[in-house]
Amino acid sequence: MKYRVAILQSEEGYSVSVPGLPGCWSQGTTEQEAVENIRAAIREYLAARDEMLRGTTSREIEVAV
């Protein structure tokens, strides 16, 4: 699975967010560290989402852009 991420460099290092997953963000001292950290954050985000859906009826839908 691939997600587009936004990487922003600052004096403190790098911050990374995932526009397609609201609230999913991380940071790191280097760009490589930030990217590794966001991978872990995405996994945690998706696990939390799956937990929230447990016991519900859910469906996937396709949306044409």
pLDDT band, very low/low/confident/very high, at 50 (cuts 50, 70, 90): very high
Cα 32 to its chain centre, rounded Å, is 15
Cross-sheet strand order for the sheet of 13-17: 6-10, 13-17, 25-28
Task: Average the pLDDT over 43-50 and give the result.
Answer: 96
Task: Give residue limits of the domains in the chain.
Answer: 6-53
- pLDDT for 65 equals 87
CATH assignment of 6-53, given 3.30.360.10, 3.40.50.1820, 3.30.160.250, 3.30.1380.20? 3.30.160.250
CA atoms of 62 and 65, how far apart (whole Å) = 10
Do β-strands 25-28 and 13-17 pair in parallel, antiparallel, or remain unpaired?
antiparallel
